[in-house]
């Protein structure tokens, strides 16, 4: 019974492409994300103005999508294959999350080069949790969760190695 309670599972993955400017590049990034995971991405907007970069507040600067359940697992396997299943130990945080980057989207299995889209890199953020952790996020009567219910860095590394065949590098 206790092994099932403390079982680590994949909560979600977030795929993000930072473009830095609006217009045609945003549309290209949207098409790339929808090709990879068959889901419509949303546009992200700048929170501040950056005069040096030519970015104004509330202007579109990127696209992202959140995947959960089986779609998240399947997509994560493809994305890890693009980086040779290698993730740095520094990519794992203390609360059961890890992230990595894909330098070129054409490295993802099943993705073909389209000269009209170009080549884009992306960031992938993976969130892990234990069964029962949802009581912290629920709408009615949210509650705090104890240390035992939170995913540690070691548990996250073990989960990634066992379930996705990740090679964790020092």
The string of pLDDT tens digits covering residues 104-141 is: 777 777 777 777 777 888 888 988 888 777 667 777 88
Which pLDDT value is given to residue 5? 57
For the segment 92-115, the average pLDDT, to the nearest whole number, is 81
pLDDT at 62 over 80: yes
25: how many CB neighbours lie within 10 A of its CB? 19
Q: Look at the chain and report how many structural domains it folds into.
A: 1
Q: Residues 11-33: what's their mean pLDDT?
A: 83
User: Which range of residues forms the domain containing residue 46?
Assistant: 2-164
- Distance from C-alpha of 87 to C-alpha of 120, rounded to nearest angstrom: 20
Would 54 be classed as within a structural domain?
yes
Please say if the pLDDT value at position 4 is more than 70. no
Tokens read off for 163: 């379930």
For residue 134, tell me if it sits in a domain: yes
Residue 53 lies in a domain: yes
How far apart, in whole angstroms, are the C-alpha atoms of residue 138 and residue 142? 5
- Other CB atoms within a 10 A radius of the CB of residue 31 amount to 16
| Residue found under tokens 């190695």 | 161
What is the rounded distance in angstroms from the CA atom of residue 55 to the CA atom of residue 33?
23
When pLDDT is cut at 50, 70 and 90, the band that residue 1 belongs to is very low
Structural domain contains residue 170: no
| Residue appearing with tokens 């579109």 | 60
Summarize the confidence of residues 51-60 as an average pLDDT.
75
Is 23 part of a structural domain of the chain?
yes
The bridge status of strand 86-88 relative to strand 167-169 is: parallel
Q: What is the pLDDT of residue 57?
A: 79
Q: What is the mean pLDDT of the chain?
A: 81
Q: Give the tokens for residue 32.
A: 């790339």
- 109 within domain boundaries: yes
Which of 60, 56, 57 is closest to 45 using CA atoms?
60
Q: Give the CA distances from residue 31 to residues 27, 43, 95, in Å, rounded to whole numbers and listed in that order.
A: 6, 12, 32
Does a structural domain hold residue 169? no
The enclosing domain of 141 has a CATH number of 3.30.1440.10
Average of per-residue pLDDT across 12-32 = 83
């Amino acid at each position: 019974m206790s092994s099932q309670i403390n079982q680590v599972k994949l909560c979600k993955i977030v795929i993000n492409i930072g473009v830095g400017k609006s217009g045609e590049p945003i549309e290209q990034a949207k098409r790339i994300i929808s090709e990879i995971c068959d889901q419509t991405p949303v546009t992200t907007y700048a929170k501040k103005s950056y005069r040096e970069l030519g970015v104004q507040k509330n202007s579109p600067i990127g696209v992202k999508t959140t995947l959960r359940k089986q779609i998240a697992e399947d997509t994560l396997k493809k994305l890890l294959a693009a980086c040779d299943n290698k993730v740095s130990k520094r990519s794992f945080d203390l609360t059961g999350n890890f992230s990595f980057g894909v330098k070129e989207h054409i490295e993802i299995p099943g993705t073909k080069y389209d000269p009209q889209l170009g080549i884009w890199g992306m960031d992938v953020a993976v969130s892990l949790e234990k069964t029962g952790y949802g009581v912290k996020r629920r709408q009615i009567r949210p509650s705090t969760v104890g240390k035992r219910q939170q995913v540690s860095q070691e548990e996250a590394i073990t989960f990634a190695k066992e379930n996705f065949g990740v090679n964790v590098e020092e």
